[in-house]
Structure 1
Amino acid sequence: MSESPKSHSPLDVEKYPVAPSALQLEQVHIYVRHGERTPVGVRLAGPPANLPEHWMMCKTARRFQASVYVPGIVGVMDEFQQSRKVVERADGTHYEGQCLLGELTDLGRKSTYSFGTSLRELYVEKLGFLPDSLQNAGEVYFRTTNVPRTTESLQQIVHGLYPSSKCDPEVIPSIFVRNGRDENLFGNAGSCKRLEILLVGFAQAAASAYNHTLEPLDKKISKYIDGRPVRIDGIPRASGILDTIRAATAHNVKVPPEFEEKAVMDVIEKAVVAEWFAGNPFNKTEEVRRLGMGRLLDDLSTKIQHKIIHGDKDPLRILVHSTHDTALAGLASSLDVFDDKWPQFTSSITFELFKSTPAGNGSSFLQTLMSPFRVNAGPEHYIRMRYQNKNMVLPMCADEGKHLPGSPEFCTLTAFRERVKELTPLDFVSECAPAGRNST
């Protein structure tokens, strides 16, 4: 089963643009969407669409080792109990290889493992930034949302980056997970009532604004959804239709010919992206940016600053976060570089921290012009953001003096942190009250 170029975004190592020699890579922060999965709901099943109700694409990784308690024996470590996971249907039947709804498939495991091997190829083999074998667990940081598909994706990525043969026997990489109320790897409306209220309102506004753009599709698509109209707030929702079609095409499942028409899918995608990301929620409302992505950007900024202050005493070099499409679109939208396309499976956003080397820092006349009042100036630091294998030129760094001269994709850390500070809630709890910042 081959990957579909329409739904999968591998990391392109060959075309990775190496930074100018005057810059030295210091730290890498990666946010990657999980791999290919099944749809999160049953849609378009049965005639005439005939898409699967049951997805038989999860034959690997069905065996587990669970640590179990051994009572009454002092000094004996927990034993490991072997087990298998089997999906049972409502009628009590079960079949080998059936996936749960929204589950990472065999293809998703393959693509996330490949993402990990690509990270290794880039940062270990090509750049020499990471060591060949992991001797110090403090050099890496792995974190996932508490969702099976992101956790399993991260496990595959870690295995690709540092397989067991490349880890010291005493080094076991940790995979960090936060409680739901503390999660910030996506816009966490569950822990922020104000964000929930805003997003519901924006979804309603998007339906009013974009439903008419979907009306011309009714004569083509309604027959596949029991004669109902195609709408943002329809049954199924337009986002659900897009989700199912994207999952199907990713796994080479044949879809009705209308869903293979670019004009049809472009209209659906545009409406759904407007509902979720590109309309009012992130591009128009600073409050939603703050409540949705502000804490995550603040985490990023804080860890970067820690690295700069402590230098080699902070060994952390690469941070990999396994998350969702909403996180990538939210980050890109909040920083004004979203392409208005639904993020593909295994697509990623990378923030790379660079510092100017002594030679580059001392010999650059332009650097001196940029900082005429710096006394005993240390190295300059820059952030480069990459999304979908492309360098992002951040609007907040466009002005002269806010980026590396001649290279606008290298944002000065000062300019980057200034914008992040504006996006960071001062008091997340109070700002999340239903009425917002002015409610207390």
Structure 2
Amino acid sequence: MTTLQPRPPYSDAELLELYPPRLHLQQVQILLRHGERTPINARFTNTGLPAHWPYCNAVRHLRSAVLGPSGPGADPDVNTFTDVQWRRRLETFGADDAAVPATGPNSDNQPTLDGICDFGMLTDRGRETTYALGTRLRKLYVDHLGFLPASINNADFLYLRATPIPRALESMQQAFLGLYPPHTRAADFPPLTIVSRTPADETLFPNDSNCRRFAALSRAFANRAAERWNDSPEMAYLTKKLGKYMPEDSPRVAVDGKPRLSGLMDTVNSTLAHGPATRLPKDFYDPKARSIMDKIAVEEWYAGYKESEEYRTLAIGALLGDVVSRMVSSAERSVPLPDEAFAHAPGQAKPEQAPTSKSKSSSSRRMSDNEDDDDGFRFGLSGCHDTTLAGVLASLGAYNDKAWPPFTSHIAIELFRDAENAPPSSSSSSSSSWWPSFLRTASTPSIGRTPTPSLTDKQKVSMQGYFVRLRYNDEPVTVPGCKLPGNHLAGDESFCTLAAFKAIVDKFTPRDWKQQCRMNTKAPAFPQKPEPAGF
């Protein structure tokens, strides 16, 4: 859960294996966990850990849109938007509830008023790591693969989204800055369009605050973890190590203690990600203790995804349903291209060659500056949370033996088109879904979220020749159901056929998420028989 240590850049040989010449990258959707942040609550101040941390210099550089007269001598009845620059000072309670400014230690361990973080706020370090993620994405998708243009006039080919929580939005913006720094954008580059939802509609993370049934399920699995672990030798070890720092009225470390075990781990990992002025006593960083905390917290929060289809459906099914729908839409709208559409730019490697550091992999169709993708967006970047990433992986049966997602972790969901097994052109007897959008009629329905068993033969044809691959923190992920014969690219089980991937996700894609969130709130939480994920 603490700072991610990115793997080295892919070598030329690794690029050729990861992006085989026969597969042409068509769409990428990135889910990224926000960067390093402060703890959600002030904990263990009795150890000398400051409640407020001085790592958020962004609060010195805030701007807000304001509406008013356009300037001196202007018509007072004509208003326009301008911005006001301001800095924020945090205030808190003092003795006798007196209002006092919040302070934190500076580099000399002296109190400072500026740059003070709120709880759960993206820190300067978090901004650095999410910007670095953006630069790594640029290195891969622009420099090596030529999948994205090097410079842009607009961001119409991007889908940018974030949860309502500021650290997720700010992390996504930092990653965009790394992907397309200012010198790569036109002088008249328009404002970015960033998609958001109200908290009641948010599905970019497991939304227990607005889904009553999921809240009941998550409580049940958390309570089961407490019953399993609270009296275990592992928890006894944690209490022996850390009990002396716990509150007097809650001296034992427990899954459901005060603070909860996951909260304790949150503070440990947040302190590890930042400077020496915000450190806990060394007992908190005992390797065995940290390993136990991680193991138990992962079970408490994510076992439900592995065991319960309803859990997967209500927690993350809507998001993955959106992801699959976008990929299917891209496949449906694609028109078979002549070979010259995949021609290599000067200096690009030919299909049989490994790409060099100055070349682009043949696995990607060359994209000229500002070329739009066939389906309206080519690359998605969504700012989300640890629970999003772990929920996605666990729901696909690919989270076994993985630790809690570190800060700035990401999942890349990539859609490929097989050049050696391309669907027939629109002039043949193939599905009309291959026609350009302006030739489609009402008799050519889009697949969208239509469950796989309800698809027509023509709709199934439109997904032929497409593959889906997930990479978690730059390592390929294999979904169990994709290992079955016929469900993957020959020789590489990490490339799942789009049809198989959709069929797996369809099983836990909600048909009416809000209605299902209101149903069965008092029904048993645990399934009567195993419902393994990833099939």
Is the shorter-chain TM-score for this pair beyond 0.5, marking a shared fold?
A: yes
**Aligned-partner residue type, residue 8 of structure 1:** L
Aligned 1:167-206 pairs, distance under 5 A: 167-168=185-186, 169-206=188-225
Which residue number in structure 1 is paired with residue 144 of structure 2? 126
Kept in 1, the 8 Å contact 2:89–2:101? The answer is: no
Residue in 1 aligned with 2:56? 58
Larger Rg: 2
Give the Cα separation in 2 of the matches to 1:74 and 1:317: 43
The residue type paired with residue 200 of structure 1 is R
Q: Distance in 2 between matches of 1:340 and 1:210?
A: 19
Residues 224 and 133 (structure 1 numbering): CA distance in 2 closer, same or farther, change over 3 Å?
A: same
Q: How does 1:39-438 map to 2 (within 5 A)?
A: 39-46=39-46, 49-71=47-69, 73=76, 77-91=80-94, 92-94=100-102, 95-168=113-186, 169-213=188-232, 214-227=235-248, 228-253=251-276, 254-277=279-302, 279=303, 281-311=304-334, 312-338=373-399, 339-357=401-419, 359=420, 380-435=465-520
Q: Alpha carbons of 1:238 and 1:437: their partners in 2 closer, same or farther (altered >3 Å)?
A: closer
Question: Deviation digits for residues 108-152 of structure 1, max 9, x if unmatched?
Answer: 111111111111111111111000112242211110001111111
3-state SS, counterpart of residue 209 of structure 2:
helix
* Residues 241 and 438 of structure 1: CA distance in aligned 2, closer, same or farther (over 3 Å): closer
Q: In structure 2, how many angstroms separate the alpha carbons of the residues matched to 1:396 and 1:100? A: 43
Alpha-carbon distance in 1 for matches of 2:328, 2:2: 38
> What displacement does 1:410 show?
0.2
Residues 98 and 132 (structure 1), Cα distance of their counterparts in 2 relative to 1, 3 Å cut: same
Query: Where in structure 1 are there 5+ consecutive unaligned residues?
Result: 363-372
> 1:11: how far off?
6.7
2-side partners of 1:416 and 1:376: how far apart?
A: 15
1:60–1:140 Cα change, 3 Å: same
3-state SS, counterpart of residue 426 of structure 1: coil
Percent of residue pairs bearing the same amino acid type: 36
Instruction: State the 1:76 CA deviation.
Output: 5.0
Tell me the distance in 2 between the aligned counterparts of 1:75 and 1:303.
43
Moved more, 13-22 or 84-93: 13-22
User: Could you say what secondary structure the match of 1:220 adopts?
Assistant: helix
More helix by share: 1
Taking a change above 3 Å as real, the CA distance of residues 333 and 378 of structure 1, as seen in their structure-2 partners, is closer
Inter-partner Cα distance in structure 1 for 2:266 and 2:125 = 16
What is the identity, as a one-letter code, of the residue corresponding to 2:190? Answer: V
Q: Are the structure 2 counterparts of residues 65 and 378 from structure 1 closer, same or farther at C-alpha, using a change threshold of 3 Å?
A: closer
Report the AA paired with residue 341 of structure 1: A
Looking at structure 1, the residues matched to 523 and 228 of structure 2 have their Cα atoms a distance apart, in angstroms, of 29
Q: How high is the TM-score relative to the length of structure 2? A: 0.74
One-letter identity of the residue aligned with 1:93: P
Alpha-carbon offset, residue 171 of structure 1 = 3.0
Give the distance between the partners of 2:272 and 2:87, measured in 1 at CA: 29
- Please give the secondary structure, in 1, of the residue aligned with 2:156: helix
Specify the code of the residue in structure 1 equivalent to 2:155.
A
* Deviations 1:246-303, CA, capped at 9 Å, x for gaps: 00011143332222221111111111111111x3x21111101011111001100111
Q: Which amino acid aligns with 1:161?
A: L
Distance 1:45 1:310 in 2: 57
In structure 1, what is the Cα distance between the partners aligned to 2:171 and 2:211? 27
1:411 aligned counterpart, secondary structure: strand
What's the CA shift string for 1:13-54, capped at 9, x where partnerless?
A: 3356431110000000110000000000111113xx322222
Cα offsets for 1:147-194 (capped at 9, x unmatched)? 111111111111111123222314322121111111111111222111
Decide whether the 8 Å contact of 1:8 with 1:36 is kept in 2.
Answer: no
Contact 1:9 1:345 in 2 (8 A): no
Shifted more, 398-407 versus 159-168: the winner is 159-168
Give how far 1:79 is off: 1.7
Q: 1:414–1:87: structure 2 CA closer, same or farther, 3 Å change rule?
A: same
Given that 1:9 and 1:347 are in contact with CA atoms closer than 8 Å, whether structure 2 keeps it comes out as: no
Alpha-carbon distance, 1:204 to partner = 1.1
Work out the CA distance in 2 between the residues paired with 1:271 and 1:376.
45
2:3 maps to: 7
- Structure 1 Cα separation of the partners of residues 231 and 523 of structure 2: 36
**Structure 1 residues 158 and 8 mapped into 2: Cα distance closer, same or farther (>3 Å)?**
same
Q: Which residue of structure 1 aligns with residue 28 of structure 2?
A: 28
Equivalent residue, structure 2, for 1:370:
none
Could you tell me whether the CA contact under 8 Å between 1:11 and 1:118 is conserved in 2?
Answer: no
Distance 1:154 1:376, change over 3 A: closer
After TM superposition, the score normalised by the length of structure 1 is 0.90
**Distance in 1, Cα, partners of 2:215 & 2:53:** 32
From the superposition, tell whether residues 438 and 256 of structure 1 become closer, same or farther in structure 2 (CA, over 3 Å).
closer
Residue-pair matches, total: 420
Q: Take 1:223 and 1:128, find their aligned partners in 2: how far apart are those partners? A: 56
Q: Secondary structure at the match of 2:330?
A: helix
Task: Name the counterpart of 1:366.
Answer: none
Contact 2:32-2:384 at 8 Å conserved across structures = yes
- Report the Cα distance in structure 2 between the residues aligned to 1:191 and 1:68, rounded to whole angstroms: 32
Q: CA RMSD in A?
A: 2.4
